[in-house]
């Protein structure tokens, strides 16, 4: 990436847009929004377009939702020019305010991935949503990884042509478990495994890079990705940034990662499922003495937050603690060989 950036810097002058006042002008293109290309953006010539494409910015939408810093890194243009470019793309795509009806229309594209437990699905009003990030946090063995495997299989059960991307940071993805679960819902395990793309992330940078690569799978390979699992979201960040002094750096990086995930969910109508650990909070005297890693950064970027804990007799309890249109509630279920099952007794 560094080599690419320095190469890029050498010929920025070729297309320096700062001297071109027309960047601010309204676009002249009469094309349909879907047909617009990078070159339709005022001031973007072939050379800059090529550099942007090389870094994954291959249409005006990707420019419109980028941050100036990302474009500066990608194409070597100045921040001022990057801002103008972003604004032009937003104008061109009419990305200002929209009516509530338009939002409702977009929401119609949202699909739900069922968990297999009636109580859990009822709590989530049908299942885990696409276009959103759902975070599950809880202590070890609370079922976060199991839920990732179950959602992967259920996605393929519900949307037979879809693909699941599984970013495994703790080496806990188990194809054997997928086989069991696929058989549990009557699917051919070989086919299911083919439809799951697994990548092991070796550190937080690698994890972030893998997430950046996911849109390429959609564009280049034409995959219909409906679910992206990041298990665990925070383990690498937690291990690499130790001590209070590094907390701000960690949070900044985590924030960038969450931003990328939420863009991925939104732009590709993908369900992003992330798992998160908890740590003991020694100064908590009342209530639950645990707190999730990543704090507000992860919490605020997640659309839905679920707290998983172990219940009585091997059951699990999921508590929805933050959702935009669903009241906080709780449900109990059991992890069984064939998938999630409802249990009679709560808690």
Binder of ligand GTP out of 277, 292, 302, 303 (CB under 6 A): 277
Contact, 207 vs 171, CB < 8 A? Answer: no
**Which residue, 70 or 135, has its beta carbon nearer to ligand GTP?**
135
Binder of ligand GTP out of 143, 184, 294, 339 (CB under 6 A): 143
**Which residue, 57 or 120, has its beta carbon nearer to ligand GTP?**
120
Here the tokens at position 262 are: 């939420």
What's the min distance (Å) between Cβ of 154 and ligand GTP?
15
Select the binding partner of residue 330 from Mg ion, ligand GTP, none (C-beta < 5 to 8 A, by kind).
none
Q: Residue 212: exposed, middle, or buried by beta-carbon count in 10 A (0-12, 13-18, 19+)?
A: middle
What's the min distance (Å) between Cβ of 62 and Mg ion?
32
Q: Is 140 in the site for ligand GTP (CB under 6 A)?
A: yes
Q: Which of residues 131-170 bind Mg ion (CB under 5 A)?
A: 144-145
With CB atoms as reference, the residue minimizing the distance to Mg ion is 145
**Which residue, 21 or 314, has its beta carbon nearer to ligand GTP?**
314
Q: Is 138 in the site for ligand GTP (CB under 6 A)?
A: yes
With contacts defined by CB under 5 A, name the span among 11-19, 171-179, 209-217, 294-302 that binds Mg ion: 171-179
With contacts defined by CB under 6 A, name the span among 72-80, 84-92, 111-119, 138-146 that binds ligand GTP: 138-146
Q: Is 337 in the site for ligand GTP (CB under 6 A)?
A: yes
Q: Which of 188, 116, 122, 190 minimizes the C-alpha distance to 155?
A: 116
What's the min distance (Å) between Cβ of 292 and ligand GTP?
12
Q: Is 204 in the site for Mg ion (CB under 5 A)?
A: no
Q: Which of residues 223-252 bind Mg ion (CB under 5 A)?
A: none
Q: Is 142 in the site for ligand GTP (CB under 6 A)?
A: yes
Could you give the string, one character per residue 154-193, with x where binding to ligand GTP holds by CB under 6 A and - elsewhere? -----------------------x----------------
Q: Which of residues 210-269 bind ligand GTP (CB under 6 A)?
A: none
Tell me the CB-side half-sphere exposure of residue 238, using CA atoms within 13 A. 15
**Which residue, 49 or 306, has its beta carbon nearer to ligand GTP?**
306
Select the binding partner of residue 337 from ligand GTP, Mg ion, none (C-beta < 5 to 8 A, by kind).
ligand GTP
Q: Is 146 in the site for ligand GTP (CB under 6 A)?
A: yes
As a three-state string, the secondary structure of the chain is CHHHHHHHHHCHHHHCCCCCHHHHCCCCCCCCHHHCCHHHCCCCCHHHHHHHHHCCCCCHHHHHCCCHHHHHHHHCCCHHHHHHHHHHHHHHCCCCCCCHHHHHHHHCCCCEECCCCHHHHHHCCCCEECCEEEEEEECCCCCHHHHHHHHHHHHHHHCCCCEEEEEECCCCCCHHHHHHHHHHCCCCHHHHHHCEEEEECCCHHHHHHHHHHHHHHHHCCCCCEEEEEEECCCHHHHHHCCCHHHHHHHHHHHHHHHHHHHHHHHHHCCEEEEEECEEECCCCCCCCCEEECCHHHHHHHCCEEEEEEECHHHCEEEEEEECCCCCCEEEEEEEECCEEEECCCCC
List contacts with ligand GTP (CB under 6 A): 138, 140-146, 177, 277, 335-337
Residues near Mg ion (CB under 5 A) are 144-145, 172
């Amino acid at each position: 990436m560094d080599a690419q950036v320095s190469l890029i810097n050498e010929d920025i002058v070729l297309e320096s847009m700062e001297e071109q006042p027309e960047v601010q002008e309204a676009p002249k293109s009469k094309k349909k929004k879907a047909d617009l290309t990078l070159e339709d953006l005022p001031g973007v010539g072939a050379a800059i377009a090529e550099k942007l494409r090389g870094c994954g910015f291959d249409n005006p939408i990707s420019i419109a939702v980028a941050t100036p810093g990302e474009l500066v890194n990608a194409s070597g243009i100045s921040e001022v020019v990057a801002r103008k470019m972003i604004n032009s793309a937003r104008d061109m795509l009419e990305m200002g305010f929209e009516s509530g009806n338009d939002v409702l229309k977009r929401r119609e594209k949202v699909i739900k991935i069922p968990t297999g437990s009636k109580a859990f699905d009822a709590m989530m009003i049908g299942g885990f949503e696409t276009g959103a990030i759902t975070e599950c946090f809880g202590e070890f063995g609370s079922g976060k990884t199991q839920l990732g495997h179950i959602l992967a299989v259920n996605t393929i059960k519900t949307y037979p042509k879809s693909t699941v991307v599984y970013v495994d940071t703790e080496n806990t993805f188990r194809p054997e478990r997928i086989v069991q679960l696929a058989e549990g819902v009557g699917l051919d395990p070989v086919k299911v495994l083919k439809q799951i793309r697994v990548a092991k992330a070796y550190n937080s940078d690698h994890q972030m890079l893998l997430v950046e690569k996911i849109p390429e799978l959609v564009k280049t390979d034409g995959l219909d990705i409906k679910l992206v699992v990041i298990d665990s979201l925070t383990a690498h960040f937690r291990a690499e940034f130790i001590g209070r002094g590094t907390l701000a750096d960690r949070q900044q990086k985590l924030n960038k990662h969450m931003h990328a995930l939420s863009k991925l969910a939104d732009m590709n109508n993908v369900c992003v499922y992330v798992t998160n650990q908890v740590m003991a909070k020694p100064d908590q005297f009342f209530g639950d003495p645990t707190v999730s890693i990543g704090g507000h950064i992860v919490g605020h970027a997640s659309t839905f937050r679920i707290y998983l804990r172990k219940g009585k007799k091997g059951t699990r309890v999921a508590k929805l603690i933050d959702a935009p249109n669903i009241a906080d509630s709780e449900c109990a279920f059991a992890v069984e060989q064939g998938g999630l099952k409802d249990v009679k007794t709560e808690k």
